[in-house]
Chain A
Amino acid sequence: NAGVTQTPKFRVLKTGQSMTLLCAQDMNHEYMYWYRQDPGMGLRLIHYSVGEGTTAKGEVPDGYNVSRLKKQNFLLGLESAAPSQTSVYFCASIGYPGRPGRAGNTIYFGEGSWLTVV
């Protein structure tokens, strides 16, 4: 059981280049999230999905796009990378966040993807 897997783990991009981060979960979770983590800023939500085929904007969505074509995968795209997007990106998933007391309420994080834009 791999849990939540992110690829790639490390990447260096030049300004203006594009790339896609892949998040895959094998727990049949409905909800998936992309957060970015910057020093002193905590984790900030970029986009999220409440099920296959759905996406929604989070706190800091500008410059990013996402897709959830398959339930197990949540892709984060940078169309034209900027130095301000240098960050650590965490994907996370959760089973049924609306049901207190169930094990599915626990959020599972991937190991993170370190992205540097030069």
Chain B
Amino acid sequence: GENVEQHPSTLSVQEGDSAVIKCTYSDSASNYFPWYKQELGKRPQLIIDIRSNVGEKKDQRIAVTLNKTAKHFSLHITETQPEDSAVYFCAASSTGNTPLVFGKGTRLSVIA
């Protein structure tokens, strides 16, 4: 089955700097790659997703890139703000009946 590896497990950045979180996946059939943000005590919230027919997608300060050949995808947050502090999860699935498989998460701390 699918296996998703996420790095780093913790990340601290200064406010205004960029943050990058990387994930690799094992199943070449996977073609849907969402990213979730989870604040303490809350449910995961979808922040951006990308499908395998697209190499990059951007939404304001957040962008995701996908390299299908290397089977990795990354989350980029620019101009970080304290409210970006949270745990971020990547996930992968195929378009069949397979559920999302999640990475283990990255705890991002933005230092003011």
Alpha-carbon distance A59/B34, docked complex (angstroms): 19
Q: Is A74 an interface residue (CB 8 A)?
A: no
Q: By the criterion CB–CB under 8 Å, are B44 and A43 in contact? A: yes
- Expressed in whole angstroms, the minimum distance between the Cβ of B34 and any Cβ of chain A is 7
Q: By the criterion CB–CB under 8 Å, are B43 and A111 in contact? A: yes
Q: Is the interface of B mostly helix, strand, loop or mixed?
A: loop
Q: Knowing A42-B104, A43-B89, A43-B102 are in contact, say whether A107-B34 is a contact too (CB < 8 A).
A: yes
Interface with A: B11-19, B67-75, B76-84, B93-101, which one? B93-101
Q: By the criterion CB–CB under 8 Å, are A107 and B43 in contact? A: no
Which residues of A lie under 8 Å from residue B9 when comparing CB positions? 40
Q: By the criterion CB–CB under 8 Å, are B99 and A101 in contact? A: no
Alpha-carbon distance A32/B96, docked complex (angstroms): 14
Q: By the criterion CB–CB under 8 Å, are B89 and A100 in contact? A: no
Q: Is A110 an interface residue (CB 8 A)?
A: yes
Q: Of all chain A residues, which has the CB nearest B1?
A: A59
- Expressed in whole angstroms, the minimum distance between the Cβ of B36 and any Cβ of chain A is 8
Q: Knowing A42-B89, A43-B89 are in contact, say whether A98-B97 is a contact too (CB < 8 A).
A: yes
Q: By the criterion CB–CB under 8 Å, are B95 and A99 in contact? A: yes
Count residues of A near B (Cβ-Cβ below 8 Å).
26
- Expressed in whole angstroms, the minimum distance between the Cβ of B107 and any Cβ of chain A is 9
Q: Is A50 an interface residue (CB 8 A)?
A: yes
Residues 82-109 of A contacting B (Cβ, < 8 Å): 90, 97-101, 105-107, 109
Alpha-carbon distance A35/B38, docked complex (angstroms): 14
Which residues of B lie under 8 Å from residue A105 when comparing CB positions? 32
Which residues of B lie under 8 Å from residue A98 when comparing CB positions? 95-97
Alpha-carbon distance A112/B45, docked complex (angstroms): 12
B interface with A by C-beta (< 8 Å): 1, 6, 9, 31-32, 34, 42-46, 51, 53, 89, 93, 95-105
